[in-house]
Structure 1
Amino acid sequence: MMPWNLDIRAQACRWGARRGRSSRGEPLGRARWRARAALARVRGPAAEEFRRRGFELVPCDLRVGPVSVRARLELDRRRVLFDPASLAELREAMRWAGLDRPADPLDLVLAHELFHLFDPGCPDELAEAAAHMFATELLGLDYFAGTLDEVQREFRRSGGGTRAGGWLGRWLTTLCILVLACPAVADVLLVPLDDRPANLLFVRQIARIGGVEVVVPPRHLLGRFLRSGEPGAIQNWLRRTAEPGDTVFLSADMLCYGGLVASRAAAVSQEQALDRLETVRELAATGVTFEVFAAVPRLSLRTSEAQAPHERKLAEWATKPGNPPPEDVPAWAVEEYLRVRARNLAVLLRLVELARERTIARLVLGQDDSHATGLHQLDQERLREAMKGNRSVSLVSGADEIAMDMLAGWIARRAGVQLAVRLVYSDPEAAERVPPLESLPLDRMIRDHLALAGARVASAGPADVELHIQVPLAKPWTVPEDSHRPDAEAFVAGVLQAMNGGRRVAVADLALVNRMDPFMAQAVIDRVPLWHLEGFASWNTPANAAGTAVAQLVVHRVAQAGGKGWSLHRLLESEKTHQAFLLARMIDDYGYQTLVREQARPMAAGLPPDPDPLLNLYGPVGLQIRVELIGWARELYQRNFRGQTVCLEPLDRKARLGPMDLEVVLPWPRVFEVEARLDLRLEPTDEPCRTPGKAGLNPRP
């Protein structure tokens, strides 16, 4: 027997390298580390480990349509379900491959499930490889029986017969097992704008809905609020992690300055920032693909602590570029402000050059919080001039949602899907108006985000999805009076009518800035089956909310329409992440931003933005938020979501929403946002999607 960490690992990585991976085996090393971490917790056979933890082993039929499932963990019931018929098929596959040494199929699947008990993260390709390594070591094997099904199916399809044709079949099968053991799919890497939920958690969730798992730097390298990220360490991480064939979604602001907040400060010189971009050129030359996003600076910039008292006056002055600087602002503060803007513009222009040279495959420049007039308009004019004739560069309105849209577009292109989306405005005349904090008219802004996400507007003919948009109110900064209720309820009635008509619907509520319209939210809770929406968002700026809804609807349709080759596990993970994302928007955008946050503000008043972590000054605030929000969310879930069914379209089977777990934290020392870490269980059923009942409550085939 050859131990995994010797000959088999070397063979797997050599063959993996021929399929586009580097021979240094970085993803394989990560999988092996996870397998070893799980092995360190084992004291006996898998069956004993489960029983010792109070689990019952239950034989039952787990087949879902044409899909055969060998085992499934039920954590809430402390059960491990296994399918004897599927285990018999596995034993036959082992014999077919000439690998029928004494290994009980039940032991194999229990070892596999035990790994997922110890390592409960998303079951992506890396986790599955780690699970196979774990089972191999635990059972003393030199092969991965879990990969046999696909090998057998492919060999039979190619005419190899039912027993693989002697030594050639066994050699080919063993070779395929070794190749499949090494994750051969190129990695998707993300260097986010910062570690706020919208830039890190949301992007990973959008990827997971689309069936992709992204690799990110260790969180401590991304900084936290006023503590900048570590560009040097991130450069080193990229050099270690990115390999030929990988795609990197890269925030230039993180790489050059240490994040969005740091990009507004004067600490990094122009020379330093430009020099850090050379990492992109260096890695692109090795075959790494870069899709880069960068923020065009807003008018309000805190360039240093000394400049902070003058920040607001400088921002007001910058709205009128022709006026002289304010007399009561020191000349050095004005110069520092202009120097930061000039530095950032120089970096953006260099990025445009790199895109023209094809060093960067795609570049998206997003205008951070905007104003109708100002210095940022001059920056945009310079950038548009430099961009002329270069279709790989886009200039759009927004910042925090751009990574989500770019990744959604990448997933859609890879799947060969371009959605047609019909835009339905609550007030069609508002489509030509510029929303608050944005730089482009509403309709243009949404079309740009659809294009980033690989979709198009359905101006005529059938549409794949309808995006219903509640447009910004005349006073978007304050909660509306009761006179707005009829308009909000009419908007929701239109959404419900479309769903009952069998159309797929997503919702972007742009009525208010940085909170959900309470009248719309309550009408949705009371009347709309939220779990059947394709996308839903209402957080922060209009571009943030619209871009988030666009990204979600695109990746969900890719998963549902293009996931026919996916495993049941992958489909369930995609759909449960989609449902968790929908629910989190209601919990965060409405429950927190509209209901709870105002109550928390007095508790946080006077607390410093850079508190000593040992003093835990924000602890009481966070605890109060957590108690109120989690209680509200659990009640909402039990009343409206628990037990509802959703459709897994590729299987034509329903799945039922089970238990929900929720944790809420303050990601930064402020009450501006929360991070809702939500997980829920999705239980497959044998019930087909197309059952008699109210139209629109099952997605159309």
Structure 2
Amino acid sequence: MVRILLLPLDERPCNARFPAMMAEECGGYELIMPPRELLGDQKQPASVEAVAQWLKENFGGCDYAVLSIDMLVYGGIVPSRLHQLGAEQCRAQLGLLRQLRAEHPQVKIFAFSLILRAPAYNSAEEEPDYYETYGARLCRLGVLRDKRERGLASRPEAEELRALEQELPAAVTKDFCGRRAVNHAVNERAVELLHENILDFLVIPLDDCAEYGWAAAEQRALRAEILQAGESGRVYLYSGADEVGCVLTARAVNHSRGRTPAVYLQYSSVYGPLVTPKYEDRPLGENLKWQIAAAGGRTAASPEAADLILMVNAPTAGGERMAEAGTKGERWDASYAGCRCLPDFVASLRAYLGEKPVALADLAAANGGDDELMRMLAREGLLPRLASYAAWNTAANAAGTCIAHAMLRERAAERSLFTAHRILEDWAYQADIRQRAAELAKSVGCTLDRGEGENQLAAFAQRELEQYLARWALPGPACIERVGFPWHRFFEIDLSLKSAR
């Protein structure tokens, strides 16, 4: 039995449950994770002292360790955006990794540490309170400063930058930039620990990023340090965040098996690999290669040379033109109709089935599945034959989850409960039920209030999901145990399934 210790990014299902559900289907692997109560609650950070103690107590009994540095240092992903820690305080917390390496040299350590995001909208749900008022302008400030540093700012942009710097309150800019500097110092220290062989592999994902901005500038600085250290083969920087725990768990499994799975990519559109998805900084085709490599695999030049096929339902337009799940297909950008042929894509998927394990990364829209494609597959009875599926949140989140799960499954011919889980949440809930639940809440004056109102909305979501199970043949067979709202919002659910066998 190979034992993998996982310190997740936070307590949400995507970080704390998805890897465990995948590992259950793997066979011969045990995933060791902290108890839920140790992991904090959205803006409430986990106790880093308790996390450190848990690591000390459990590290020696594992073969691999997948570690979120954001959890270790700040107590989670949202606390990484809110803390008032100093750089030396954070570096001291990272000293635990040196101690663990010295005491347990046999453990392979795969770590990840995020580049702090700067969303392009006003909301304090996951950011400091001032982001409710100044968020979009802080994001724009980063874009303009980055362009100026690269010598790409036009004269109007230079004037806009000067005006923004005067307009934003000095205290807000100081707090925001100060925290970014501390988090950047933590990432620099993580690279140093990799170079010192305290870590074996490191991913530095860019969370909710773009071509220009704060994250892009910090990525360039880190990239220069990585190149100088000669470590570009062991430190990967690419778009992503919440899927990385799954990806590095797959890397541990592949390493233990001595395998480098070959993945053939087939896109729904000729534009697919060239489009830069919303919330990301590079073309989709390049980010997929980084994720496959981070999971311990490689791309294949042909289906015949591949161990598995990844069907990529890709966006045909990037940035703000990229579709959002839950909006009607006829309201999507015209390129979705004119620049992809879904019947051909479905025919190709069907032809691969039985020859190779086939996974579907449904990335055409942000934040949920493509209803048109999924109904086509369901009507032809193809959903139960998928080795893996994902469509949640960003393209990187969904693709990384799908790649990791497909690699982890040794017996792809068997139906997967986790695949059913993803189809129900990513397609049924996120692309359909989520919007209707929000409308219901508004019409009856019900809220996600941690009380009876939330229970009523969870019951509604469960009934609607059960109708999907009854109508469409899904992998499984499965039955729904419960539905919850982990952060008391409609954006995601905590869905519990069990086998109906």
If the TM-score is normalised by the length of the shorter chain, which range does it land in? 0.7 to 0.9
Question: Aligned pair 1:476/2:300, yes or no?
Answer: no
CA distance in 2, matches of 1:345, 1:630: 42
2:65–2:109 CA contact under 8 A, matched in 1: yes
- Cα distance in structure 2, aligned partners of 1:242 and 1:186: 13
The percentage of aligned residue pairs carrying the same residue is 30
Matched, 1:230 2:230: no
Q: 1:369 aligns with which of 198, 208, 213?
A: 208
2:39 pairs with 1:193: no
**1:106-505, aligned counterparts within 5 Å?**
185=1, 187-211=3-27, 212-243=29-60, 246-287=63-104, 288-300=107-119, 304-306=128-130, 308-321=132-145, 322=148, 323-324=161-162, 325-388=164-227, 389-390=230-231, 391-460=233-302, 461-474=304-317, 475-478=321-324, 479-482=327-330, 487=340, 489-490=342-343, 492-499=345-352, 502-505=355-358
Q: 1:634 to 1:491 in 2, by over 3 A?
A: farther
1:282-340 CA-to-partner distances (Å, cap 9, x unmatched) read 11111143211111112239663355422222112211113334433210110111111
Amino acid at match of 1:509: D
Conserved in 1, the CA contact under 8 Å of 2:247 and 2:291?
Answer: yes
Any idea what SS the aligned residue of 1:548 has? helix
Partner of 2:469: 637
Report SS of the residue matched to 2:237.
strand
Partner of 2:375: 522
CA distance 1:672–1:635, shift in 2 (3 Å): closer
For residues 131 and 357 of structure 2, the distance between their equivalents in structure 1, rounded to whole angstroms, comes to: 50
TM-score (norm 2): 0.85
Deviation at 1:268, TM superposition (A): 2.3
One-letter code of the match for 1:327?
Q
Query: Could you say if the C-alpha distance between residues 291 and 238 of structure 1 is closer, same or farther in structure 2, counting changes exceeding 3 Å?
Result: same
Question: Residues 303 and 337 of structure 1 are in contact (CA less than 8 Å); yes or no, is this contact kept in structure 2?
Answer: no
Deviation, structure 1 residue 619: 3.3
Gaps of 5+ in 1: 1-184, 562-574, 606-610, 645-656, 683-701
Task: Give SS of 1:217's match.
Answer: coil
Does 1:675 find its partner at 2:494?
Answer: yes
AA partner of residue 318 (structure 1): G
Q: C-alpha displacement at 1:672, in angstroms? A: 1.0
1:445-496 C-alpha deviation (Å, 9 max, x unpaired): 1111111122211114432221111111433344243485795742552344
Residue 628 of structure 1: aligned partner: 460
Structure 1 residue 245 displacement after superposition: 5.2
Residue 404 of structure 1, CA deviation: 0.6
**1:589 and 2:426 matched:** yes
Q: Which residue of 2 aligns with 1:171?
A: none
Distance 1:455 1:375, change over 3 A: same
8 Å Cα contact 2:388-2:402 kept in structure 1: yes
Instruction: Work out the CA distance in 1 between the residues paired with 2:309 and 2:131.
Output: 47
- The 2-side partners of 1:275 and 1:519 are apart by 51
Contact 1:473/1:512 (CA < 8 Å) preserved in 2?
Answer: no
The letter of the residue matching 1:537 is A
**For residues 431 and 560 of structure 1, do their structure 2 counterparts lie closer, same or farther at Cα, with a shift above 3 Å needed?**
closer
Q: What is the Cα deviation at residue 227 of structure 1? A: 1.2
Which ranges in structure 2 are unaligned for 5 or more consecutive residues?
149-160
Verify the 8 A CA contact 2:269 2:341 in the aligned structure 1.
no
What displacement does 1:429 show? Answer: 2.6
8 Å Cα contact 1:408-1:454 kept in structure 2? yes
CA contact (8 A) 1:266 1:303 kept: no
Matched, 1:509 2:362: yes
CA pair 224-473 structure 1, distance change in 2 beyond 3 A: farther
Q: 1:376 to 1:659 in 2, by over 3 A?
A: closer
- Normalising by the residue count of structure 1, what TM-score does the alignment of the two structures yield? 0.62
* Aligned AA (2:51): I
In 1, the alpha carbon distance for the partners of 2:389 and 2:2 equals 30
- Please report how far the alpha carbon of residue 499 of structure 1 lies from its aligned counterpart in structure 2 after TM superposition: 3.8
Other-structure match for 1:180: none
Number of residue pairs the alignment of both structures matches: 461
RMSD: 2.6
Q: Match for 2:484 among 661, 665, 670?
A: 665
1:193–1:259 contact (8 Å) kept in structure 2: yes
Q: CA deviation at 1:630?
A: 2.3
Cα distance change of structure 1 residues 206 and 334 upon mapping to structure 2, 3 Å threshold: same
Query: Letter of the aligned partner of 2:322 in structure 1?
Result: P
Query: 1:562-610 CA deviation, whole Å, 9 max, x = no partner?
Result: xxxxxxxxxxxxx5xx6211111121111111111112335667xxxxx
2:155 is aligned to: none
Q: Is the 8 A contact 1:253 1:294 kept in 2?
A: yes
Contact 2:87–2:182 (8 Å) recurs in 1: yes
In the TM superposition, what whole-angstrom CA distance separates every residue of 1:651-686 from its partner, at most 9, and x where no partner exists?
A: xxxxxx55624311101121110011111144xxxx
Q: Greater Rg, structure 1 or structure 2?
A: 1
Would the alpha carbon gap of residues 481 and 186 (structure 1) be closer, same or farther in structure 2, given more than 3 Å must change? closer
Q: Which residue of 1 aligns with 2:154?
A: none
Structure 2: distance between partners of 1:307 and 1:405? 31
1:303–1:339 distance in 2 versus 1, CA, 3 Å: farther
Q: Does structure 2 conserve the Cα–Cα contact (< 8 Å) formed by 1:197 and 1:675? A: yes
Structure ranking higher on relative contact order (CA contacts 8 Å, 6+ apart):
2
Distance 1:186 1:658, change over 3 A: closer
Aligned-pair CA distance for 1:559: 4.5
Contact kept in structure 1, 2:64 and 2:252, CA below 8 Å: no
2:180 & 2:18 partners in 1: Cα distance?
29
Equivalents in 1 of 2:462, 2:438: separation in Å? 18
Superposition deviation, residue 528 in structure 1: 3.7
**Does the C-alpha gap of structure 1 residues 463 and 603 become closer, same or farther in structure 2, counting only changes over 3 Å?**
same
SS at match of 2:103: coil
Provide the secondary structure at the position in 1 that maps to 2:366. Answer: coil
User: Which residue of structure 1 aligns with residue 397 of structure 2?
Assistant: 544
Structure 1 residues 225 and 494: CA distance shift in structure 2, 3 A? same
Alignment-mate amino acid for residue 74 of structure 2: Y
